[in-house]
Homo-oligomer: A and B are copies of this chain.
Amino acid sequence: VTSATKEHLLQIGEVADRVGLSLRTVRYYEEVGVLTPPTRTSGGFRLYGDDHIAQLLTIKQMKPLDFSIEEMRELLEARAALETSTSARRRAAARETLERFAALAADRCTDLRKRLRSAETFAREISKEAQAPD
């Protein structure tokens, strides 16, 4: 899928370290189809390239927004389509998907802000309660 230019390939341990995920998590993302399968050594060791790292970083960015695996897959697919597809129709569709996700992300931000306010209130309440004389 990628260019044949020799890029330095990484084993799963290096990759996991670099993006801050567990080995299991990296394998899981491949298993559910959100991370494109890496090449393998003849012995079966996974070898990842720069595009895999990029995918994983995107996934990691989406996690704090509570996006599901299915949603991550959709976004990564749209992004890949924008990078590689030459069909105008496909590119337009991909753009639309990205727009949809931008809106969704904005909604999640609103949710997070609400959560934060509620959390701050809770923290204050508990602190007061601990210090109340009674």
**A134 contacts which of B79, B82, B127 (Cβ < 8 Å)?**
B82
Task: Place the interface of chain A in its size category.
Answer: 20 to 34
User: Which label, helix, strand, loop or mixed, suits the secondary structure of the A interface?
Assistant: helix
Whether A116 touches B112, Cβ cut-off 8 Å, given contacts A82-B134, A134-B82, is: yes
Whether A64 touches B118, Cβ cut-off 8 Å, given contacts A82-B129, A98-B126, is: yes
Assess the B109–A112 pair: CB atoms within 8 A.
no
- Cross-chain pairs A/B with CB under 8 angstroms, 16 sampled: A61-B121, A62-B122, A64-B119, A65-B115, A82-B129, A95-B130, A95-B131, A98-B126, A99-B130, A105-B119, A105-B126, A109-B116, A109-B119, A109-B123, A112-B119, A113-B116
